[in-house]
């Protein structure tokens, strides 16, 4: 089935046969999310209907608290690609705005689930809440399902070490530099994907050119200097990355990803790269000036070289 991305309820043209759907923020697509998607795919096969993931943009907590919202693990494009890779047929991206925010739970069921996608089976996480003031829950969904002819399935909590897997837990591990544990929770290494853009060429002027990727979010899920591997055009290249706002230069408001590739020359402008984080070297710091900054950059490069020599 052709992958379809639908932005906004007003663009929905639901099939008369309906769909099997899930709904949530799905930030990070961790093992818990993957269990939900697996249930959706299994039920879609049984019902012989398309599988649909309904997501929100922006994240509801970004709508309410902006810069104070939890750091995104994924940009919208990364999330969509991950859902498609798991086998989802259609993604419905709901714009979280004043109209959606003020829908009460019953209006949400009617307008979004019944009229919007004509859901025949809805798979939700055990903690799913919806509607104005998060008043809707699993019991309300099941009652509405009996009235409107759709089934509701709650997925079981997925745990590790006796703790429920969540996006918040992934953020904790990333912030602490525990990339092996984060990979366990995600089912794969943590990466940031984006297109390389032109910057101010400060790195080139200092003799350490960087590939720059705008993160397009208020906060990054990790900050500091890291040993990384970069995948570009099928090649895996060793490097050092800085994620942050460059306090020594003081020219950024939103965080930027800057990657210096070891012993590599070429042009990456305009290319999409995948950056995998391997080890944290240090926190981002404000130095006294460019000379001290450059001294630490070279120390970071030496650290990365030693890391790759050991591995």
Statement: residue 59 has pLDDT above 80? no
151, 229: one domain:
no
Give the E-state strand segments of 30-118 in sequence order: 51-57, 90-95
201, 135: one domain:
no
Q: Write b or e for each residue in 100-114: b if 16 or more Cβ atoms lie within 10 A of its Cβ, otherwise e.
A: beebebeebbeebbb
155, 199: one domain:
no
pLDDT of 11 reads 83
Q: How far apart are CA 76 and CA 54, in angstroms?
A: 12
Per-residue pLDDT tens over the stretch 154-172: 888 899 999 999 999 999 9
**Considering the domain boundaries, does residue 165 fall inside one?**
no
**Considering the domain boundaries, does residue 166 fall inside one?**
no
The CATH number given to whatever domain includes residue 215 is 2.40.30.30
**Considering the domain boundaries, does residue 79 fall inside one?**
yes
**Considering the domain boundaries, does residue 101 fall inside one?**
yes
216, 254: one domain:
yes
37, 144: one domain:
yes
Comparing 105-109, 130-134, 161-165, 177-181, the range with the smallest average pLDDT is: 130-134
Q: How far apart are CA 256 and CA 301, in angstroms?
A: 19
If you average pLDDT over residues 263-289, what whole number do you get?
90
Nearest partner of 253 among 264, 261, 245, judged by Cα: 245
Statement: residue 133 has pLDDT above 70? no
The pTM of this model reads 0.91
The CATH number given to whatever domain includes residue 97 is 3.40.50.620
**Considering the domain boundaries, does residue 184 fall inside one?**
no
215, 281: one domain:
yes
- Per-residue tokens: 296: 């630490």
21, 71: one domain:
yes
Per-residue pLDDT tens over the stretch 161-218: 999 999 999 999 999 999 999 999 999 999 999 999 987 666 667 778 899 999 887 7
Nearest partner of 222 among 152, 173, 181, judged by Cα: 173
Could you please report the per-residue DSSP string of 129-192? -BSGGG-B-HHHHHHHHHHHT-EEEEPPPPEETTEE--HHHHHHHHHTT-HHHHHHHHTS--EE
Q: How far apart are CA 210 and CA 202, in angstroms?
A: 9
Of 145, 160, 175, the last residue of a domain is 160
Q: Give the domain range for residue 139.
A: 4-160
Total structural domains within the chain: 2
Statement: residue 292 has pLDDT above 90? no
24, 139: one domain:
yes
**Considering the domain boundaries, does residue 106 fall inside one?**
yes
40, 142: one domain:
yes
14, 137: one domain:
yes
If you average pLDDT over residues 63-91, what whole number do you get?
89
């Amino acid at each position: 089935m052709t992958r379809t991305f639908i932005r906004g309820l007003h663009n929905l043209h639901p099939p008369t046969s309906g769909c099997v759907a899930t709904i949530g923020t799905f930030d990070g697509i961790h093992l818990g999310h993957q269990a939900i998607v697996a249930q959706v795919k299994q039920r879609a096969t049984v019902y012989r209907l398309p599988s649909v993931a309904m997501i929100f943009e922006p994240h509801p907590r970004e709508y309410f608290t902006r810069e104070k919202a939890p750091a995104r693990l994924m940009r919208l494009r990364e999330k969509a690609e991950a859902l498609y890779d798991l086998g989802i047929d259609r993604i419905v991206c709901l714009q979280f705005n004043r109209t959606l925010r003020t829908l009460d739970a019953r209006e949400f069921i009617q307008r979004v689930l019944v009229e919007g996608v004509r859901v025949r089976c809805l798979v939700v996480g055990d903690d799913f809440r919806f509607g104005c003031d998060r008043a809707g829950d699993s019991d309300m969904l099941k009652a509405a399902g009996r009235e409107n002819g759709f089934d509701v399935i709650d997925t079981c909590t997925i745990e590790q070490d006796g703790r429920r897997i969540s996006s918040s837990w992934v953020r904790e591990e990333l912030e602490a530099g525990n990339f092996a544990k984060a990979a366990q929770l995600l089912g794969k290494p943590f990466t940031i994907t984006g297109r390389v853009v032109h910057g101010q060429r400060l790195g080139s002027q200092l003799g350490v050119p960087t590939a720059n990727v705008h993160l397009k979010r208020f906060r990054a899920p990790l900050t500091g200097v890291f040993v990384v591997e970069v995948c570009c055009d099928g090649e895996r290249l060793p490097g050092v990355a800085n994620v942050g706002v460059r306090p020594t230069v003081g020219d950024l408001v939103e965080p930027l990803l800057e990657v210096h590739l070891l012993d590599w020359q070429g042009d990456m402008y305009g290319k999409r790269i995948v950056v995998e984080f391997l080890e944290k070297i240090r926190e981002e710091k404000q130095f006294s000036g460019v000379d001290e900054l450059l001294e630490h950059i070279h120390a970071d490069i030496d650290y990365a070289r030693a890391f790759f020599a050991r591995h």
